[in-house]
Structure formats: C-alpha cells, structure tokens
Amino acid sequence: MTGIGFDLLATDGRARRGRVTTAHGTIETPAFMPVGTAATVKAMTTDAVASTGAEILLGNTYHLMLRPTAERVAQLGGLHRFMNWNKPILTDSGGFQVMSLSDLRTMSEEGVTFKSHLDGSRHHLTPERSIQIQHMLDSNITMCLDECTPFPATEAQAESSMRLSMRWARRSKDAFVERPGYGLFGIVQGSVYPDQRAESVAALTDIGFDGYAIGGLAVGEGQETMFRVLDFTEPLMVKDRPRYLMGVGRPSDLIGAVRRGVDMFDCVMPTRSGRTGQAFVRSGTINIRNARHAHDERPLDADCGCPACRSYSRGYLHHLFKADEMLGPMLLTWHNLHYYQDVMRTMRQAIEDGTFEEVAGAMEARLNEGDVEATADPIAKPGKPPKQGRPPKAGKESDPPKADTDTNPPKTGKESDPQAAERVAEDKTDD
C-alpha cells in the first residue's frame, strides 16, 4: 500500500461511516482527534488519552519546529516514540499559527517569514520546509502548507489567498515523500464564497491527495455560516477519500458536520475547557467553579463512564478547582475527551444502524436541556438560604469560564467567537 487507505463502510443520508488505515494502525470514522500541540495532550498521559477511545492525535508543526525542533524529535526516534504514542498522528502544517501571528510575519509567494513567539528569532516556512518538518516528525497524515484565510475577508482577498494556497498545495505534493501507510491531505479554502470553494476543490482534486481537509472555518464565522459552507462544499468533494474539518468544535458542531458528510475533526475545546473548569456533558455544559456544585454528591454526568464520573462527585471537583489543585484540570480534561469520544462512537453506531437522524436529533435535543437542578446545601446555616451562587441567566451555564490568566492569547480580532478564541489561545501559547 502506498499512502493511506480509506474504506467507506456505511452511509446514512450524507453521514459516513469509514475506516482510515495507516502505518501505525486504523482510525474508525467519524473520528475526533485530541490536540497534542507540543507533543503532549495537556494534563493527560498518552495511556489516559488512549483509554478514552482516541485512535489518532494531532501534533503541531509550528510549535515543534521551534521547540524542541523537528531535527531533535527525529534524533529521538520520531514523534510516536518521543511522546510514547504508537497510534496514528496527524500534523498540521503551521499555516493557522502563521495566520494568527499577523503582527510577527510577512507573506510572499515563496512562503512566510515570521518571528518566534518564544524568543523573537526569525524563521522561514515554505511548503517544502513544512513537508520536510512533518516528515522528520514521522507524521502519518501530513497537511499541505496553506494560508488560512481570515474572517471576514472580501471576495477579492479570499480569492487571492485561496489561489496562493492552491499553488502551495502543488509544491507540497511535489515535496512529499510517498511511502506505505503515510499520506498527504490537501486543504480546501475559499472563505464563505461558493465559487471559490468549488475552484479550490477542483484544483486539489486535479493534484490528487490521500484526503481532503476543509480549512478556513472555526475562525469567527459562527455555526450557521460554517454549516452553510459545508452544505455547498461537501457535495463537490471526492467520495472515496476522508474529509477533515479543521479546528471544529463543540459537540453540536460535530453532530451537524457529520450530518453533512465530514469524517474527521480536531479542536482544543475539550482540553482547554477542562483546564479552565468547563465540563461538556450530555445536557450541555457545566462550569464546575460555580458555587452550586460545592455540596453536590452527584457525578458530572450520570451516563458517563470516565474516571471523573465513576469515582468523584461534583463537590470534590469543585473543591479541586477552588483550591487550585492540578488534579481538577486533569480529571475534567479526561472527562471531556471521554465524552467527545462517546459522541463519535454513538454517531458511528447510528450510521451503521441507519438511525443517524433519529439519534442525532435526540442528542441535539438533550444538549439544549441544560444542567440538572441544584440541590439544597445540607449544612447551610439556619435561617439562611442555601449558598448556590447566583441563578444562571439564560445561556450563562454554556458560556466558557475565563481562561487561565497566564495563557490569554494576544489580541487577534477573533475573540468575539468563543471557538476561534479557544483555538488561537491553544495554538499561540505553550502552557
């Protein structure tokens, strides 16, 4: 086998159930990839990540080329050995990080020159260099270097950016070293413009890749616009290759995108939210720092089998965060990743059973239920009402808690969209 394999096992409407085969094992799709920015999924061991059901991780070219350097990772046996993960790895190209560092970089036809956010040193990243770095990392799925078009962008800006990315895609393909079990994905760009997305799909299909990513989303456009772009882009894409929606997302995003034919996802949302006190559960989200959880003996999610839900109460998890104990972020990260894998497992089974719309609709309805009612505090002082915190305003429980003060990202103009802000924060910092 040259490249990676993809078998389409079942469909239900546009939803797809598949299997990707690589040199380091198989990936059942639809699949969610935890983000291991700097060769680690923050607050987790690789054994713990595997126990959630994750079959592939994402590594970050930009961060690893700066520290410890791709040459050092290669000298130490490649990324799988370096981080003790013997399953597949996908590495992004560095394009998103370059876009987010707009004040520190200059673009040209040749590539991008940028200053390191670590020490200010200057680096030059070209399509050829990006592919070389990912080769040294021993990535199973390599991504073409592209310019991630910012949002909003005029039609002229988006067209220029997309066509540059298509020229870089050809150079990336020419630089890629084909070998069994390793593949290269092209990235569809074109912002929110149907004609440009169609041109991008056609250009990448003509070049020929092992898989195709949909880029330029989760950058502030909102879910409705994202789904609209998928509605006119996915039908144009080849059917016998995996589709990867980059940087997405929340559980409702995953469900909606699988409904529209997407196979693979990554996002920092479950890990970063776990570190800052937000838990994703079947009925929405929970901010475990809220006082209403301080005396609650119930688990985060009664239907979850993760260690946090099996062994610890909300009251204990609340205590860990209030006491700034590192176990709190570890347990919530573990829970969130386990929950995300549960969502993917449920969708895979529903597609196989031909019940995707019924199951997806039930999941979406439950996500809108909101958290269970708070219980009374059994040790509240007589004559005083139980201390449960202020009653949440509509939508308040779903809002992410404040990020750690030492990891807030520089201003990028995208902070109005929570998902975009989360992604930029994870990718631009090294916490």
Instruction: For residue range 64-114, list pLDDT tens digits in order.
Output: 999 999 999 999 999 999 999 999 999 999 878 776 776 778 889 999 998
pLDDT reading at 15 higher than 90: yes
Average confidence (pLDDT) over 113-123 = 90
As a whole number, mean pLDDT of residues 335-346 equals 98
pLDDT 10s digits, 383-416: 555 555 444 444 444 444 433 333 333 333 333 3
Q: What is the pLDDT of residue 406?
A: 30
Beta bridge partners of 338: none
Integer Cα distance of 4 and 10 in angstroms: 19
Measured from the Cβ of residue 279, the count of other Cβ atoms closer than 10 Å reads 27
pLDDT for the residue 388: 53
Q: What is the pLDDT of residue 396?
A: 41
pLDDT tens across 192-215, in order? 999 999 999 999 999 999 999 999
Cβ neighbour number for residue 250 with a 10 Å cutoff: 22
Work out the percent of the chain whose per-residue pLDDT is above 70.
87
Q: Which parts are annotated binding residues for substrate?
A: 92-96, 146, 189, 216
Tokens of residue 402, six digits: 């404040």
**One of 266, 342, 371, 427 is an active-site residue; which one?**
266
Q: Is 266 a catalytic residue?
A: yes
Taking only the tens place, the pLDDT of each residue in 302-320 is 999 999 999 999 999 999 9
SS3 82: helix
**DSSP 3-state percent helix, strand, coil across the chain (nearest 5):** 40, 15, 40
What pLDDT is attached to residue 383? 59
DSSP H helices in 276-391: 307-311, 314-322, 327-353, 356-367
pLDDT above 60 for 360: yes
From the list 188, 266, 237, 366, the residue with the least C-alpha distance to 29 is: 266
The pLDDT of residue 420 is 45
Known binding residues: 92-96, 146, 189, 216, 304, 306, 309, 335
Catalytic residue among 12, 92, 138, 301: 92
For 1, 11, 254, 427, the CA distances from 7, given in Å and listed in that order, are 13, 12, 21, 32
Rounded to an integer, the average pLDDT of 330-351 is: 98
Position 324 confidence tier, pLDDT thresholds 50, 70, 90:
very high
For the stretch 29-47, pLDDT in tens is 999 999 999 999 999 999 9
Give the 3-state secondary structure of residue 215. Answer: coil
92 included as an active-site residue: yes
Q: Where is the binding site for Zn(2+), in residues?
A: 304, 306, 309, 335
| Whole-number average pLDDT of the chain | 90
Q: How confident is the model at residue 260 (pLDDT cuts 50, 70, 90)?
A: very high
Buried (b) or exposed (e) across 3-35, using 16+ Cβ within 10 A? bbbbeeeeebeebbbbbbbbebebbbbbbbbbb
Whole-number Å distance between alpha carbons of 245 and 412? 22
Report, as an integer, the average pLDDT of 375-388: 73
Position 408 scores a pLDDT of: 35
**Other C-beta atoms lying within 10 Å of the C-beta of residue 383:** 5
pLDDT for the residue 362: 98
pLDDT score recorded for residue 96: 81
Average pLDDT over residues 118-129: 94
